[in-house]
Amino acid sequence: MSEKRPNTIEQKKNVRHLSEFTENILIVDDEQRHLNSLRELMADNGFNVELAHNGEEAINRIKTKTIGLLLLDLNMPDMSGNEVMDFIKTNKINTTVIVVSGESSFEAANSALKHGAYDYIKKPYTTEALINSVKNALKKRQLEHDNLQMQAKLLESEKLHRYLVNKSPDIVYMLDTNGRFTFVNKRIETLLGYQKEDLLGKHYTSIIHEDDHEKAKHTFNERRTGERATTNVELRFRCKNNDCAPRHFETSIIPIEISAVGIYNTKNDLPNNKFLGTYGIARDITERVEAEEIIRFQAYHDMLTRLPNRTLLKDRLNQAISHSRRNHSKLAVMFLDLDRFKVVNDTLGHLIGDQLLQSVSVRLKKCLREGDTLARIGGDEFTLLLPEIHGPKCSEMVAEKIISSLEHPFNINGHEFFVSTSIGIAHYPDDGSTMETLIKHADIAMYSVKGNGKNGYRFYADHMNEVYSNHMSLETDMRRALSQGQFKISYQPQINIETGEVFAMEALIRWDHPERGSISPYEFISLAEETGLILPIGEWVLRNACAELKRWREAGLSNIRIAINISACQLEQDHIVKTIIDILHENNIPGEMLEIEITENVIMKDIENGINKLTQLSNHGINIAIDDFGTGYSSLSYLKRLPIDTLKIDRSFVHDMQNSDEDASIIKAIIAMARGLGLNIISEGVETKEQLELLKAWRCKNMQGFLFSRPIKQNDAINFLKSSAENTAIMFEKCNTSAEL
């Protein structure tokens, strides 16, 4: 075998350059020495190769890997080279084959070429012959590859051009020298209602608004080129038979932005060149015009409710103040905040919350005069401007009208909502002479309503500033209290007066503030609900009270039940049932040893949801008690559906029952109703022997109150329970006719 290797650096560079176009070269020969010789030769010439020792191995390699060039022997024991080429041809594999064989007959070479070989190299071969054949094969593959890529790019470019023209959102057109259409794309059909065939040969003025004909002569029918050509000039098009897509303004006329250029028979625009016509693009700018209008609207309106926003409110309020100052008239600013709206967002999601806000805004607008301004300034907060009023009576009437309008429930996606609002009112000039002052004072008055039961209105007064400041300070302190361990739990016993035994302990949260001292739950619970802090605080009470109950049970007090209050915010949480059950399991507490206390109003906020969750808790053995029964509003029909075990008579009835026949009658009715429904009864706030005797005579055997015990600190509770029988007997002997709260 005669071999001649490249002897110059340039020659090696050229070979390496060509080899870059071959993904892989595979040498197939059953003789190892031939494989080694070819591999060395190809490596010396800058090619990377792989080896296969027979036809089957070669086919497996071709199946799993892209092979650009195959140097193939014909005569192999397992499979001939022709069979390998037949496999390549049958499976349409893009591999170039150069046969390198010892067969010297014409028939062998001819057969190989018929089987698809690119070239036939006879052994022994010269290096130049083999390398030239490899180079030519690679160059051919390169040219084929480049040609395919070029054809693909041309085809893609042509498709893209056709697509851009025919699918363009703009009208693309060409006019002849007389201004008649020679081409127009399909956009004309969807935008103006014309068929392409309707316009070909027609003068361009057939689609131009009459008032724009003169302007179109120098723009739509452009003859200039370069920088002098028409760019972004607005015209108006006429629709066919006034049949255009609906839009905000005139439906028969569409605003169009034109860019056009003259076409000439050479590449330059010298005056003696022949003018062929006009090429132009017409863009529908309706959306841009509408978008500009929307942007202007968004700048001054809330997009959810379509009400004026804070910016527009301030502008109108400043104007109203200036007008009132000149005319010595009055105006009112009302700050409205929806009560407990955050619960809706947290439990049912912002989509339902947004729909509720939209429904509320519709009702609010119906309460106003034409010149009033209702603005949404964020979240569930609204501000109302009442210009030109005669006095506080006018704003009071509007506030009452608003509150009345929200009394009826809202029904959204199958959910029924009862919405109330807290309203603060400030008047010009009595409560402030500037926009900022009036809004601030109305806001302070609104917080005064929030702190006194919500669902009402108040006029601003100077003393509210101090209350507002304390309110904000208390909220800040409460956020620190949980992490700093300032909250404590006390326990008040519930006693069976027939046996003198303590059968349950009610968990009562207390706040030991480092500076303010002991803070009553009446001062901070409503604020916690308003701010959402009731959720982490409520879960903390659940966990700590159940952990304490576990300690009692481990001390042998296994018959004591614990009662824990649950707020509306907690009950409305999706995971509340799971949280309670998990806490019971963590402390190995049976469900029947826990009593959940809720108020009537909590249930009535969302009856179906409340019934569902309470039923799930009851199915785990947990007792359900209605706290402060008789002070809220509930339907007896719903009361029958609730899985209730206990009714707790509110302390307000017990306190006055000796002096009020009405309260006494209410207590008797509640006891009779509970007995009829098979429910337990507990009277709260029992403080005197007389109250005890009356309740006992009315067949109420379960009580709690200062007569028996004040709330007991957590560390003392276990000792109290261990000696409860003795303590109860002593209390019965020593209690006075009344006890201080």
pLDDT value of position 238: 87
Strands 410-412 and 96-101: unpaired
| Owner of token pair 């009071």 | 396
Distances (CA, A) of 535 to 343, 528, 538, 582, 679: 11, 8, 5, 16, 29
Q: Give the pLDDT mean for 333-357.
A: 83
Q: 120-134, 264-278, 401-415, 515-529: which has the minimum mean pLDDT?
A: 264-278
> Does residue 577 register a pLDDT over 70?
yes
Q: Quick one: pLDDT band at residue 4, thresholds 50, 70, 90?
A: very low
Residues 585-611 as b/e (b if ≥16 CB within 10 A, e otherwise) read eebebebebbbbbbbbebbbbbbebbe
pTM: 0.48
Half-sphere CA count of 260, side-chain side, radius 13 A? 26
Q: Give the Cα separation of 449 and 254 in Å (integer).
A: 54
**Which domains does the chain possess?**
9-147 (3.40.50.2300), 168-292 (3.30.450.20), 303-462 (3.30.70.270), 478-734 (3.20.20.450)
pLDDT value of position 8: 43
Q: Give the pLDDT mean for 408-430.
A: 89
Q: Smallest Cα–Cα separation from 261: which of 283, 230, 232, 284?
A: 230
Per the CB < 8 A criterion, the answer to whether 649 and 630 are in contact is: yes
Q: Give the Cα separation of 247 and 287 in Å (integer).
A: 9
List all residues 6 or more positions away from 527 whose beta carbon is below 8 Å from its beta carbon.
451, 471, 474, 475, 478, 533
Instruction: Write out pLDDT tens, residues 702-714.
Output: 999 999 999 999 9
> Does residue 62 register a pLDDT over 70?
yes
Q: What angle do CA 92, 93, 99 make, to 5 degrees?
A: 110
| Owner of token pair 């700048």 | 299
